[in-house]
């Protein structure tokens, strides 16, 4: 799968950390006036990487990914991400998700900060400036 990212969303909260790469910018509140078909068409291609942190020490953390393709989503234990200023490549078993990105300086710095938190012992992260 390959697509051009038009919007990047990064969230780092107490119990989760996530990054989303979207082909189509979020329509926001306009979604309330859309039909189901319009909503589906407005989503476009995307990749969400999310890590949930356990609420107590006896639980384990969880790494989850999701794409617009319902066959490409779920929990993952091993992945490889290669990040550069112009692309993010995610390798999962036999699937490669190749996303062209054009982040601002702040977004790129946030990627470099957040991706290691998300991956944490679930795979390999290669960062190229």
- Give the residue numbers spanning the domain of 102: 2-127
Q: What is the pTM of this model?
A: 0.82
Q: What is the pLDDT of residue 93?
A: 79
Q: Please compute the mean of the pLDDT values over residues 89-97 and round it to a whole number.
A: 89
Q: How confident is the model at residue 115 (pLDDT cuts 50, 70, 90)?
A: very high
At 41-83, the pLDDT tens digits run 667 889 999 988 777 665 667 788 999 888 888 888 788 999 9
Whole-number Å distance between alpha carbons of 110 and 71: 28
Total domain count, the chain: 1
d(CA 36, CA 83): 34
Tens of pLDDT, residue by residue over 6-22, are 988 898 887 789 999 99
Number of helices (H), then strands (E), in the chain: 2, 10
Radius of gyration of the chain (CA): 15
What integer pLDDT is reported at residue 53 of this predicted model? 78
The pLDDT value recorded for residue 30 is: 55
**Is residue 77 within 8 Å of 92, Cβ to Cβ?**
no
């Amino acid at each position: 799968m390959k697509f051009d990212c038009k919007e990047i969303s990064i969230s780092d909260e107490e119990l989760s950390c996530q990054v989303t790469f979207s082909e189509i910018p979020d329509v926001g509140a306009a979604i309330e006036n859309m039909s189901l078909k319009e909503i589906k068409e407005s989503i476009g291609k995307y990749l969400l990487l999310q890590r949930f942190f356990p609420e107590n020490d006896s639980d384990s953390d969880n790494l989850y990914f999701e794409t617009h393709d319902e066959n490409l989503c779920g929990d993952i234990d091993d992945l490889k991400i290669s990040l550069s200023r112009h692309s993010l490549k995610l390798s999962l078993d036999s699937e490669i998700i190749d996303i062209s990105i054009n982040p601002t300086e702040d977004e790129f710095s946030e990627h470099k900060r957040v991706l290691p938190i998300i991956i944490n012992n679930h795979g390999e992260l290669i960062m190229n400036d």
